[in-house]
Structure 1
Amino acid sequence: MDQHLLMTVVLAGIAVVATVLVAFPGLFSDNRAEQRQKSIGARPIRTLNDASRDPNARRKQVSDSLKDLDKRAGTKPTLEIRLTQAGMTWTRRTYMLVSAGLGLGLGAVVFVCGGSPLVAGGSALIGAFGMPRWMLTYRRNRRFKQFRHYFPEALDMITRGVKAGLPLNDCLRAIAREAQEPVRSEFRAIVQAQGIGLPVGEAAEKMAERMPIPEANFFAIVIAIQSKAGGNLSEALNNLSRVLRDRKKMEGKVKAMSSEAKASAGIIGCLPFVVGTLVYLSSPQYMSLLFTTDTGHMVMLGSAVWMGMGILVIKKMVSFDI
């Protein structure tokens, strides 16, 4: 088959898939999120009754709250939830359009620059599926990191306000006005959820769903326990803030101790590219076989695959979870 015809078929197939995604966005949507949103208003509000007086009932309510939060944390988030976690206002259709545009654009650029149809097709797949996912993951992780950095300050604000006699709702509103992003937007969502009649415990649980990190999960657990079983909220939040700060210090110590291993991993990862560049500058005819022959292309492809696997293994070895 002619190369130009093959490339045309590949690009046409990608265009057809993108058109179907745009015309029928509901084909890949997850109805569970919509059902959960509809069930918010009909969700029964559990009352304490005499649970605050009975230690066994209090322990049962706390256990049920922890199991409920753990079950929600184990569910895989949908695309809409991941976009919200990244702080993006895109819809599913916008994400699909951007993915299709990146795939078609990258494939066309590689093909016009003289790449083979196979390389152009692979570039189109990378642009359509790899680049948008990487961008979304990067923005989510960056937002989570910013939330971890400013969240202890928000807990301190709540602790000082509760000790001064302010209601919890007023403390949450103060954080929604004065805190740094993304803490401010998350607490603003809690205040807005309370404005439509959602209890503060459930609003905190939803923040833990939008921010699936241990810090937000701890906060949701503390608020849920306090709203159902009572207790000293200022002391609990003060202890939580101290624990989060200790975790941050421990992360800094681990980062300092693993810096040597990470530097070694960076040197090992860059060494093949540096050596290849030096050899090409000294002996261009020797290295040109990799770019001008089919065997060279296969060797470069295999080397890239093995290099990627090695980098992933090294990254896993030098990454530590606190």
Structure 2
Amino acid sequence: MEVAPIDALIVGMVFLTVFLLLIGLQGRKLRAERPLEERLTHLGLRSGPVSGDGNDEELRSREALKKALKELEALQKSEGRSYLRHLLKSSGVGRSLAVHVGISVIVAILVFAISLLLNLNLILSFALAILLGGWLPILQLKMAVNRRMRLFVDDMPGALDLVVRGIRAGLPLLECLKLTASEWRDPLRSEFLQIINDMGIGLTIKEAIARFAERVPLQEARLFAIVIAIQAQSGGNLSEVLTNLAELLRERSKLQAKIKAMTSEARTSAWIIGSIPVLLIGAVSVFSPGFLAPLFDTAFGNVILGVCGGWMALGMLVMTSMMKVDL
């Protein structure tokens, strides 16, 4: 059965819509999190109304806090404008944007060639090539970022405790960071060493920590940057605030573990439901080899396979998004 031009156009528009939707899901910013003011209150960076005594010091602290928050907001906006570059930087894979684009092109060519070898429709092959060529490399980067950030969150509380002990022993912050970097694994070690290297080429501690917050897409890393920025600008009890931040990270990790346990059944169900069509196709192909041949040998069958595959992928993305919980 031949596919009419209007049908081919509809199929192309369907796949283009799915492709743009996937890119939009991948490229959106982090979901809105709790207000920074609430986090800063928990960390002991906020206080009540300014009293008559010590007005100058209190005003300086508040001005430093406002300035740090504005800088953080500007940083988040810049990340939203260059999501792919930020993802490459945060993944730690050492891949440039040009290399990433080249990998996407290679993946698209391979998918297109395999689709043609499987005698799939030309339009379907082209749509699959664009879809998988753009999505798979980004998926690999996101997996690398998630793996790296899990290690970072696991190590950050202990590293902050070591920094606090060094500060209370009278060591400067830079020496505390060097000591912590020598005792911990990657990625925390490499990030702290990068802070030290940035300061070695002339950056201030505030600028070096700001770069650190840009490389590490975690709210806790940004709060760490704010703490250091305020301390560098107006002084304060850095050890107490870092202790509060370390405790906050521990509590957050415990809550994440509870959420993961509570959603494990839903994740398993999603994998089972998603694998059923593939298993059924495999079973039918084994026990009745020619039964599904029209789906693979005809243009209209290819259209059906492509549309169903696109909707399955979209459904899996929706289910995955529903199971995510922002803390």
TM-score by length of 2: 0.76
Q: Give the Cα separation in 2 of the matches to 1:275 and 1:223.
A: 57
**Distance in 1 between residues matched to 2:83 and 2:270, nearest whole Å:** 34
Question: 1:274 — aligned with what?
Answer: 279
Q: Separation in 1 of the partners of 2:63 and 2:128?
A: 55
Q: What is the one-letter code of the residue matched to 2:197?
A: Q
Report the CA distance shift for 1:286/1:78 in structure 2 as closer, same or farther (over 3 A): closer
- Give the alignment partner of residue 267 of structure 2, picking from 242, 255, 262: 262
Amino acid of the structure 1 residue aligned with 2:312: M
The residue that corresponds to 2:170 in the other structure is 165
Name the CA distance, whole Å, in 1 between partners of 2:189 and 2:314: 39
Deviation at 1:74, TM superposition (A): 3.0
Residue 144 (structure 1) aligned to one of 149, 154, 160: 149
From the superposition, tell whether residues 318 and 92 of structure 1 become closer, same or farther in structure 2 (CA, over 3 Å). closer
Partner of 2:189: 184
Task: State whether structure 2 residue 243 is matched by structure 1 residue 238.
Answer: yes
Q: Distance in 1 between matches of 2:270 and 2:128?
A: 27
What is the CA distance between 1:247 and its match in structure 2?
Answer: 0.2
Which consecutive unaligned segments of at least 5 residues does structure 1 have? 1-50
In the alignment, which of 66, 69, 72 is matched to residue 69 of structure 1? 72
The equivalent residue for 1:57 is: 60
Higher relative contact order (Cα pairs below 8 Å, separated by 6+ residues): 2
Residues 184, 100 of structure 1: CA spacing in aligned structure 2 closer, same or farther, 3 A cutoff?
same
Determine helix, strand or coil for the equivalent of 1:284: coil
Q: Residue 205 of structure 1 aligns with which residue? A: 210
Match of 1:293 in 2: 298
> Aligned equivalents of 1:154 and 1:237: distance in 2?
10
Secondary structure (helix, strand or coil) at the match of 1:285 reads coil
| Alpha-carbon distance between aligned partners in 2 of 1:123 and 1:275, rounded to the nearest angstrom | 22
> 2 CA distance for matches of 1:52 and 1:113?
76
- Contact 2:90–2:216 (CA under 8 A) maintained in structure 1: yes
1:156 to 156, 161, 168: 161
The equivalent of 1:37 in structure 2 is: none
Q: Deviations over 1:237-294 (max 9, x none)?
A: 1110000000000000111111122222222222222233333333333322222222
Offset of residue 156 of structure 1? 1.1
Deviation, structure 1 residue 53: 4.6
Shift of 1:91: 2.6
Q: Secondary structure at the match of 1:315?
A: helix
Q: Is the alpha carbon distance of 1:170 and 1:52 closer, same or farther for their aligned partners in structure 2, counting shifts above 3 Å? A: farther
1:121-156 deviations in Å (ceiling 9; x for gaps): 334324542222222222222222221121112111
TM-score (norm 1): 0.77
Picking from 301, 318, 321, the partner of 1:316 is 321
Q: Which range moved further: 307-316 or 99-108?
A: 99-108
Superposed CA deviations along residues 3-41 of structure 1, whole A, max 9, x for unmatched, are: xxxxxxxxxxxxxxxxxxxxxxxxxxxxxxxxxxxxxxx
Does the CA contact (< 8 Å) of 1:62 and 1:229 recur in 2? no
Give the direction of change, closer, same or farther, for the CA distance of 1:112–1:303 in structure 2 (3 Å limit).
closer
Choose 259-268 or 279-288, whichever is displaced more: 279-288
**2:291 match: secondary structure:** helix
Instruction: Give the AA of the match of 1:287.
Output: L
Give the aligned length: 272
Native 8 Å contact 1:52 1:230 kept in 2: no
- The corresponding residue for 1:134 is 139
Q: Which runs of 4+ in 1 moved over 6 A?
A: none
**Cα deviations by residue, 1:72-99 (Å, 9 ceiling, x for unpaired):** 1233235444322111223333223333
Aligned residues of 2:120 and 2:296 also touching (Cα < 8 A): no
Residues 120 and 299, structure 2, Cα contact 8 Å, conserved in 1: no
Q: In 1, are the aligned partners of 2:119 and 2:296 still within 8 Å (CA)?
A: no
Hey, what does 2:310 align to over in structure 1?
Answer: 305
Q: Residues of 1 paired with 2:198 and 2:55: CA distance?
A: 25
SS at match of 1:54: helix
After superposition, the Cα gap between the structure-2 partners of 1:209 and 1:260, relative to the gap in structure 1 and judged at 3 Å, is same
137-146 or 59-68, which deviates more = 137-146
Between 253-262 and 271-280, report the one with greater CA deviation.
271-280
Structure 1 residue 101: Cα displacement:
2.8
Q: 1:164 to 1:209 in 2, by over 3 A?
A: same
Say whether the 8 Å CA contact 2:124–2:303 is kept in structure 1: no
> Which stretch of structure 1 is more off in the superposition, 142-151 or 112-121?
112-121
State the partner residue of 2:252: 247
Q: Distance in 2 between matches of 1:293 and 1:109?
A: 17
Q: Distance in 2 between matches of 1:289 and 1:99?
A: 31
Unaligned runs of 5+ in 2: 1-53
- Is 1:107 paired with 2:146? no
After superposition, the CA RMSD in angstroms is 2.2
Change (3 A) 1:193 1:66: same
Percentage identity across aligned positions?
36
Tell me the equivalent position of 2:13.
none
